[in-house]
């Protein structure tokens, strides 16, 4: 059968036939042959090829050979000279280019890394998807865990973010900001699978009072190994790699690229600023993407920015054509991402230095900041902020405090907080618990339980209902016994 396959494939090409297609689908018009840059999204996501999934084609529009053939079909990818966007770059190795840009820096000389990892298990629950507390990821081969460094791309718990030798810092737990390496990749896709390649990296560091961003550009696939080696040397040197969503994306992807090139992934300490950013700003701004927070928190507008989703096709198109008018902008986007990250990190650090002032300004999520402070062991500040949030109707903040005070045996504090809880199912349950266990006032507890039951009726789900019925039954028994 294999002997026929080549012939059958050749015939498929000649006739340009699709596998199974709808003819003249109503209203869909004609989807033309896949064309590189323009086919972003739909066709690109499907792999674009009419061989495989058909678009609608009428017989006369079946693709003919040559339709869709690109200029650089010859192997080796010879291109006419150096592309325009590489002006100002120097060649670092075969197919690897680099440059350095300077930005103003915003971080102070010393930084407290703990807020960036500032999430206890409890605080993390319910607020984030990225790293699920309790997930244990075993050490990956090649990762050295002896010094406690979090292995590259481990995907472990948030507080693992800043474990590591590199974070030993001074006695006061502070790190020199020069040891941070801010890092971001541009890739050919979002999937993180083995076919996704990183072709542009930016690594930023504080140097002599400025923020120096070094970028590495991969000019074609065969240069990847050298590109990776250059990137690794920028990232290590006893540094702390700092990313935005890098734990879920950039670092695992880097790890995959290293594996694909037969290189051992090193381990170094890493911080993912996404977690603290979500905590501080998500509820206030309705999201925590870097571009959103740059605009709303840092007040930065980028001129003529290329959207991230367009970048993969820019690189592919450049590979085929030899140049691309938007690549320079994409490269700028990458560098600016890293610079923005540094600024955002600096802002977060300042917020934790003066939390009360920032909370009062209304620019941060008071309850989120409060939780972060609690996780850092800064109990007074944290509680103050959470109580302020509760005062403005934040039920979750109130519940958290109530439970905290219960654990710590602070009856009066708990009483105050419970009294401030806004109406709602969980509040009623908490009040019921308080009255039952702390005050032993079963009658009041029963009343709150009944209130909770009527809340549950309006849509709490059967589990809540069953638990409440059980509580009610228990209280009735206690009342019977105690009188």
Partner 1 sequence: MIDASARTFIDEILADPDVAPRIAHVESAPARDADWAPLPDGLDPRLLEALKAKGYERLYSHQRASYDAIRAGENVVVVTPTASGKTLCYNLPVVQTLLEEPEARALYLFPTKALSQDQQAELNEVALGGSLPVGIYTYDGDTPSSLRVAARDSGRIVITNPDMLHSGVLPNHAKWIRFFAGLRYVVVDEAHAYRGVFGSHVANVIRRLKRVAAFYGAHPRFVLCSATIGNPEELASALVEEPVRALSENGAPRGERRVVFYNPPLLDPVQGIRKSTATESEKLALLLLRRGVKTILFARSRLKVELIASYISKALENLYTGNGGVRVSPYRSGLLPSERRAIEKGLREGSIQGVVSTNALELGIDIGGLDAAVVAGFPGSFASFWQQAGRAGRRGSVSVAFLVASSSPLDQFILAHPEYFFGRSPESARIDPDNPYIFADHAKCAAFELPFKEGESLGKAGPEATAEVLSMLEEEGLVRLTGGRWYWSAAGYPSEAISLRSATADNVVIVDRTGGGARVIGEMDRPSAKELIFDDAVYIHLGRQYKVRKLDLANKTCFVEEKEVDYWTDSIVKTDLEVLTEDEEGLLAAQGGRGPLASWVLGDVLVRTEAEKYKKLRFHTHENVGYGEISLPPEEMQTRSLVLLLPPGSAGGDLVAACPEGGKAALLAGAARLIHDLAPVFLMCDGRDLGLAERVRDPHFGVPAIYFYDRYPGGTGLAEGLAELLGPAIRAARERLASCGCEEGCPSCVGVDFGEAAGPQAARGGRAVKASVLELLSALSEAAPGDGQEP
- Residue closer to partner 1 by CB (options 306, 374) is 306
Task: Judge whether 243 and 271 are in contact, CB under 8 Å.
Answer: yes
Selected from 82, 100, 108, 137, the binder of partner 1 by CB under 8 A is 137
Distance CA 184, CA 339 (A): 10
Task: Judge whether 40 and 309 are in contact, CB under 8 Å.
Answer: yes
Distance CA 227, CA 205 (A): 19
- Residue closer to partner 1 by CB (options 148, 252) is 252
Q: How far is the CB of 146 from partner 1 (least distance, A)?
A: 18
For residue 461, state whether it binds partner 1 (rule: CB under 8 A).
no
Binding segment toward partner 1, per CB under 8 A, in 202-210, 312-320, 324-332, 334-342? 312-320
φ/ψ of 391, rounded to 5, equals -60, -25
Selected from 84, 191, 233, 454, the binder of partner 1 by CB under 8 A is 191
Q: Alpha carbon of 477 to those of 68, 102, 177, 435, 464: distances in Å?
A: 79, 72, 61, 15, 20
- Residue closer to partner 1 by CB (options 49, 420) is 49
Distance CA 462, CA 262 (A): 53
Binding segment toward partner 1, per CB under 8 A, in 75-83, 117-125, 362-370, 390-398? 75-83
Q: How far is the CB of 104 from partner 1 (least distance, A)?
A: 34
- Which residues in the 317-356 window bind partner 1 by CB under 8 A? 319-320
Selected from 115, 151, 204, 312, the binder of partner 1 by CB under 8 A is 312
For residue 450, state whether it binds partner 1 (rule: CB under 8 A).
no
For residue 17, state whether it binds partner 1 (rule: CB under 8 A).
yes
- Which residues in the 247-286 window bind partner 1 by CB under 8 A? 252, 255-256, 259-260
Q: How far is the CB of 95 from partner 1 (least distance, A)?
A: 9
> SS in 3 state form for 286-322?
CCCCHHHHHHHCCCCCCCCCCCHHHHHHHHHHHHHHC
Q: Which residue from 449, 447, 188 is spatially nearest to 317, judged by alpha carbons?
A: 188
- Residue closer to partner 1 by CB (options 28, 168) is 28
For residue 75, state whether it binds partner 1 (rule: CB under 8 A).
yes
Distance CA 124, CA 247 (A): 15
- Residue closer to partner 1 by CB (options 149, 446) is 149
Q: Which residue from 308, 96, 312 is spatially nearest to 187, judged by alpha carbons?
A: 312
**Which residues make Cβ contacts (< 8 Å) with residue 130, sequence separation at least 6?**
245, 247, 248, 272, 274, 275
CA dihedral 367, 428, 432, 394 (to 10 degrees): 10
- Which residues in the 117-136 window bind partner 1 by CB under 8 A? 132, 134-136
Q: How far is the CB of 339 from partner 1 (least distance, A)?
A: 26
- Residue closer to partner 1 by CB (options 49, 388) is 49
Distance CA 283, CA 263 (A): 41
Q: How far is the CB of 264 from partner 1 (least distance, A)?
A: 11
- Which residues in the 394-423 window bind partner 1 by CB under 8 A? none
Q: How far is the CB of 69 from partner 1 (least distance, A)?
A: 5
- Residue closer to partner 1 by CB (options 231, 341) is 231
For residue 208, state whether it binds partner 1 (rule: CB under 8 A).
no
- Residue closer to partner 1 by CB (options 259, 298) is 259
Q: How many CB atoms lie within 10 A of CB 148?
A: 14
Only one residue has tokens 């190994």, namely: 225
For residue 221, state whether it binds partner 1 (rule: CB under 8 A).
yes
Distance CA 267, CA 166 (A): 11
For residue 50, state whether it binds partner 1 (rule: CB under 8 A).
yes
Task: Judge whether 243 and 250 are in contact, CB under 8 Å.
Answer: yes
Q: How far is the CB of 336 from partner 1 (least distance, A)?
A: 22
For residue 27, state whether it binds partner 1 (rule: CB under 8 A).
yes
For residue 304, state whether it binds partner 1 (rule: CB under 8 A).
no
- Which residues in the 161-190 window bind partner 1 by CB under 8 A? 188-189
Task: Judge whether 341 and 290 are in contact, CB under 8 Å.
Answer: yes
For residue 210, state whether it binds partner 1 (rule: CB under 8 A).
no
For residue 77, state whether it binds partner 1 (rule: CB under 8 A).
yes
Q: Quickly list DSSP for 134-179.
A: T---PPPTT---TT-PPBTT----GGGGG-SGGG--STTS-EEGGG
Binding segment toward partner 1, per CB under 8 A, in 138-146, 294-302, 369-377, 414-422? 138-146
For residue 19, state whether it binds partner 1 (rule: CB under 8 A).
yes
- Residue closer to partner 1 by CB (options 86, 417) is 86
Distance CA 281, CA 344 (A): 11
For residue 308, state whether it binds partner 1 (rule: CB under 8 A).
no
Binding-site size for partner 1 (CB under 8 A) equals 79
Q: How far is the CB of 470 from partner 1 (least distance, A)?
A: 27
Q: 325 by DSSP, 3-state: which?
A: coil
- Which residues in the 51-70 window bind partner 1 by CB under 8 A? 51-54, 65, 68-70
- Residue closer to partner 1 by CB (options 320, 478) is 320
Q: 189 by DSSP, 3-state: which?
A: coil
H or E segment to which residue 373 belongs: helix 366-375
């Amino acid at each position: 059968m294999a002997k026929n396959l080549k012939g059958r494939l050749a015939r498929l090409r000649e006739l340009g036939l699709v596998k199974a297609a709808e003819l003249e689908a109503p209203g869909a018009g004609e989807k033309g042959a896949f064309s590189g840059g323009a086919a972003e999204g739909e066709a690109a996501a499907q792999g674009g090829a009419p061989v495989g999934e058909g678009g609608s084609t009428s017989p006369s529009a079946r693709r003919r050979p040559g339709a869709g053939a690109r200029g650089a079909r010859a192997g080796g990818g010879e291109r006419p000279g150096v592309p325009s966007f590489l002006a100002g770059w120097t060649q670092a190795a075969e197919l690897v280019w680099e440059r350095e840009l300077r930005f103003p820096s915003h971080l102070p000389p010393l930084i407290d890394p703990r807020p960036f990892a500032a999430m206890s298990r409890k605080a993390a629950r319910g607020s984030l998807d990225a790293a699920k507390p309790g997930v244990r990821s075993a050490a990956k081969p090649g990762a050295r865990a002896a010094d406690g460094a979090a292995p590259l791309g481990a995907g472990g718990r948030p507080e693992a973010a800043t474990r590591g030798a590199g974070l030993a810092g001074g006695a006061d737990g502070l790190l020199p900001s020069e040891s941070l390496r801010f890092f971001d990749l541009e890739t050919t896709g979002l999937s993180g699978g083995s076919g996704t390649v990183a072709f542009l990296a930016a690594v930023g560091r504080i140097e002599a009072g400025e923020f120096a961003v070094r970028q590495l550009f991969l000019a074609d696939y065969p240069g990847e190994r050298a590109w990776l080696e250059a990137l690794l040397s920028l990232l290590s040197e006893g540094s702390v790699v700092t990313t935005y969503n890098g734990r879920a994306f950039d670092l695992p992807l880097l790890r995959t690229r290293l594996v694909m090139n037969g290189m051992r992934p090193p381990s170094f300490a890493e911080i993912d600023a996404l977690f603290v950013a979500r905590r501080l700003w998500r509820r206030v701004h309705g999201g925590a993407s870097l571009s959103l927070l740059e605009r709303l928190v840092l007040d930065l507008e980028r001129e003529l920015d290329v959207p991230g989703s367009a970048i993969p096709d820019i690189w592919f198109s450049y590979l085929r054509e030899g140049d691309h008018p938007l690549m320079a902008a994409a490269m700028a986007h990458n560098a600016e991402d890293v610079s923005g990250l540094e600024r955002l990190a600096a802002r977060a650090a300042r917020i934790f230095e003066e939390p009360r002032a920032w909370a009062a300004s209304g620019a941060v999520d008071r309850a989120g900041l409060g939780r972060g402070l609690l996780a850092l062991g800064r109990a007074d500040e944290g509680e103050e902020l959470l109580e302020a949030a509760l005062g403005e109707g934040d039920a979750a903040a109130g519940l958290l405090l109530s439970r905290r005070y219960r654990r710590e045996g602070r009856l009066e504090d708990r009483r105050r907080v419970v009294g401030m809880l806004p109406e709602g199912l969980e509040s009623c349950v908490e009040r019921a618990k308080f009255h039952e266990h702390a005050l032993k006032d079963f009658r009041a507890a029963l009343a709150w339980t009944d209130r909770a039951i009527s809340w549950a009726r309006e849509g709490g789900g059967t589990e809540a209902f069953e638990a409440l019925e059980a509580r009610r039954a228990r209280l009735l028994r206690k009342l019977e016994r105690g009188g």
